[in-house]
Amino acid sequence: MRNIVHRHLGKMVAGTTIAVAATAVMVAVTLPGTAGADDTGARAGRSAPQVAGGAAAGGRAAVAPGVVEAAPAEGQQGEGRDPLTDDELKRVEKIALSRQLFRSSESVDGDRGPQRLGVDLAEPEADEAGKPDAPRRADVTFYDYRDDTLVTRTVDLGTGNVVATATQHGVQPPLSRAEKAEAAGLLIADPLGAGLKADYQDATGKALTSPDQLQLSGAVYRAAPGAQPAVLDRCGEHRCVRLFPKIKNGPWVDARSLVIDLSARKVARLGL
């Protein structure tokens, strides 16, 4: 793992040099007077003289500075198939998380209440497609780590009621930011995370103690017969993660051989 990090560091340095060179070329091309200049115009590195009235030599008018308009105010309620507004996102999540669901479920870090995964505008029913007055609904998804259940609750934005609830097992949607951070915390605390911590120390001169020190990408891992130790056989039923950590302002670290079972809170190495 440590050899890979050093190799990546070399690639980063080379890539940075290329990027700087490319930027220098682009600046040289786009400087005033360098593109399309004739014998009477300005040459590269020399500004065109200004004349009264703000026009450049040759009668060209000076370009007025650009104006950035403020974004329009976002309404509290969207219409039709408009994306959910910030107010709608907050409201539907509060409605979907009933007291009963909160008390009976568990989040990725073991706290009471399910792990929130996402909120999306729900698709209209078949007989509602194309109707301007079709009800506007949102699907709120949670993962209950108490029993590895995906819970989807559909909220009618007009009435403020939960109109449908679905529970599924063995369904693993993309990971939330909180789940990737929890997986990184488990890896850092585990003996199998020693290589990651050593690579971080080599690259930065500092100790790796928190997921906040890393940029985290990750993917759900499902068990494949014969491709992992027995401790990972339930991945797919359990929520398991392969992390792709990156040192902030530094290289990626190859942790593909490690899998974190968030449900069992264990780390294992794949038999690759």
Measured CA angle at 108 (ends 99, 182), to 5 deg: 145
Express as a percent the part of the chain with pLDDT over 90.
60
For the stretch 190-214, pLDDT in tens is 999 999 999 999 999 999 999 999 9
Q: Where are the alpha helices (DSSP H) in the chain?
A: 2-30, 86-96, 99-104, 177-189, 194-204
More confident position, 29 or 135? 135
Residue from 164, 136, 161, 139 nearest 77 by CA: 136
Cα-trace Rg, the chain = 27
| DSSP state at residue 171 | -
What token pair was written down for 84? Answer: 């959910």
Read off the pLDDT of each residue in 222-242 and give the average, rounded to a whole number.
Answer: 90
d(C-alpha 138, C-alpha 114), whole Å: 18
**What's phi and psi for 210, nearest 5 deg?**
-145, 145
What is this structure's pTM?
0.69
User: pLDDT, tens digit, for every residue of 124-169?
Assistant: 887 877 777 788 899 999 999 999 999 999 999 999 999 999 999 9
Closest CA to 188 of 205, 207, 206, 202: 207
Both tokens assigned to 120: 């999306």
| The length of the chain, given as a count of residues | 272
Q: What is the pLDDT of residue 66?
A: 61
Segment 63-118, tens digit of pLDDT: 666 665 554 455 577 777 788 999 999 999 999 999 999 999 999 999 999 999 99
φ/ψ (deg, to 5) at 217: -120, 160
Coil vs helix vs strand at 155: strand
Q: Is the dihedral of CA 8, 9, 10, 15 positive or negative?
A: positive
Distance (Å, rounded) from C-alpha 267 to C-alpha 23? 43
Give the tokens for residue 76.
């509290």
**Tokens 């793992």 found at:** 1
- Higher model confidence: residue 262 or residue 50? 262
